[in-house]
């Protein structure tokens, strides 16, 4: 989607997350040994679920269930309550703390908040972030009411009926409460595969994404000033993150 160029990629988001942990650990070191938190695993880009399921192999194996996180869940040591207070600048009961028990000052927002602020490199452009989020949300909403997408939904629904499944659109099949199970059922997998086949046969994904891309392009032009500021903020943030990784990442 066009608006995605104003967001961080999976690789960039992973770098920011890693830099945040590295800075938090640098901060935690001032409160004594044993307070390190583990670095996050690398982020892996997954198939978008914007238009429902779009990966045939996932449909075959998992139906509409989400794949497990890359690398597995893995048990990690949870921070103690005292460590949480230093990390977030408040107790688990929500009481703000400015000093640790030994009198060492806790930065505003804790070590995590301090790391986030340092990576932002200045005031966070909340209104610009909101502008991009609004485009992402409104373009999807408006696309649903276009004749092209409505026709594509009808073609997809007719195709599904031919396979014995009755859904008005792809959101209805994804949201079927019958598939709200711990593990995917064989029927769920069959429906998901039929869903993918009908999307391919009707060209739904191509036509829907084209409509939404056109809507987003117009919205981006109307909000160019805010989005250009956001782009500058994102570039600065990823640059700072990479500097932190080069300095502390080993």
Q: Which residues, at least 6 apart from 49, have a Cβ–Cβ distance to it below 8 Å?
A: 66, 174
pLDDT value for 74: 47
Q: What pLDDT does 76 receive?
A: 57
Span of 20-24, 33-37, 194-198 with lowest mean pLDDT: 33-37
User: Containing domain of residue 40, as a range?
Assistant: 2-248
To the nearest whole percent, how much of the chain has pLDDT over 90?
75
Per mean pLDDT, which range of 29-38, 154-163, 196-205, 240-249 is the poorest?
Answer: 29-38
Please report the pLDDT score of residue 101 as a whole number: 78
Query: What is the percentage of the chain residues whose pLDDT exceeds 70?
Result: 93
Find the mean pLDDT for residues 192-205: 97
Tell me, what's the pLDDT at 18? 95
If you average pLDDT over every residue of the chain, what do you get? Answer: 91
Read off the tokens for 228: 């250009």
Binned at pLDDT 50, 70 and 90, residue 178 comes out as: very high
Burial string for 205-228 (b: 16+ CB within 10 Å, else e) reads: bebbbebbeebbeebbeebeebbe
> 96 phi and psi, to 5 degrees?
-70, 140
pLDDT digits (tens, 9 = 90+) for 108-128: 999 999 999 999 999 999 999
Task: Return the closest-CA partner of residue 141 out of 225, 58, 211, 38.
Answer: 211
From CA 18, how far away is CA 21, in angstroms rounded? 5
pLDDT reported for residue 195: 97
Region 10-25: mean pLDDT is 94
Position 248 scores a pLDDT of 94
Q: What is the DSSP letter of 105?
A: B
Distance CA 128, CA 105 (A): 33
54 versus 79: which is more confidently predicted? 54
Is the pLDDT at 103 greater than 90, yes or no? no
| Number of domains, the chain | 1
Query: What is the torsion angle, in degrees rounded to the nearest 10, for the CA atoms of residue 210, residue 214, residue 216 and residue 221?
Result: 150
Q: Tell me the longest C-alpha to C-alpha distance in the chain.
A: 71
Band (pLDDT 50/70/90 cuts) for residue 69 is low
Measuring CA to CA, how many Å separate 190 from each of 51, 76, 179, 195, 202?
Answer: 18, 36, 11, 8, 18
Q: What are phi and psi of 243, to 5 degrees?
A: -65, -40
Give the range with max mean pLDDT: 83-97, 101-115, 235-249: 235-249
Mean pLDDT of 128-143: 97
pLDDT value of residue 45: 65
| Nearest Cα to Cα of residue 209 among 79, 48, 84 | 48
pTM above the 0.75 mark? yes
For the cut 70, the answer to whether the pLDDT of residue 72 exceeds it is no
């Amino acid at each position: 989607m066009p608006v995605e160029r104003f967001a961080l990629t999976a690789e960039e988001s992973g770098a920011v997350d890693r830099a945040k942990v590295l800075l938090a650990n640098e901060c935690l070191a001032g409160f004594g040994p044993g307070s390190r938190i583990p670095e996050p695993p690398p982020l892996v880009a997954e198939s978008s679920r914007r238009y429902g399921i779009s990966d045939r192999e996932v449909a075959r194996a998992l139906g509409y269930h989400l794949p497990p996180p890359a690398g597995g869940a893995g048990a990690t040591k949870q921070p103690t309550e005292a460590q949480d207070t230093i990390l977030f600048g408040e107790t688990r009961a929500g009481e703000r703390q400015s000093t640790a028990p030994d009198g060492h000052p806790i930065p505003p927002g804790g070590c995590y908040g301090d790391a986030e602020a340092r990576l932002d490199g200045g005031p966070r452009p909340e209104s610009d972030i909101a502008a991009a989020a609004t485009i992402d949300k409104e373009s999807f909403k408006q696309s649903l009411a276009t004749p092209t997408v409505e026709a594509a939904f009808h073609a997809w629904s007719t195709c599904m009926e031919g396979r014995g499944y009755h859904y008005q659109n792809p959101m209805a099949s994804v949201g079927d409460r019958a598939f709200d199970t711990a593990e995917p059922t064989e029927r769920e997998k069959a429906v998901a595969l039929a869903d993918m086949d009908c999307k391919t046969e009707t060209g739904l994904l191509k036509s829907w994404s084209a409509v939404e891309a056109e809507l987003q392009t117009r919205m981006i032009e109307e909000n160019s000033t805010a989005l250009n500021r956001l782009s500058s903020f994102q570039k600065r943030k990823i640059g700072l993150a990479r500097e932190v990784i080069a300095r502390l990442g080993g």
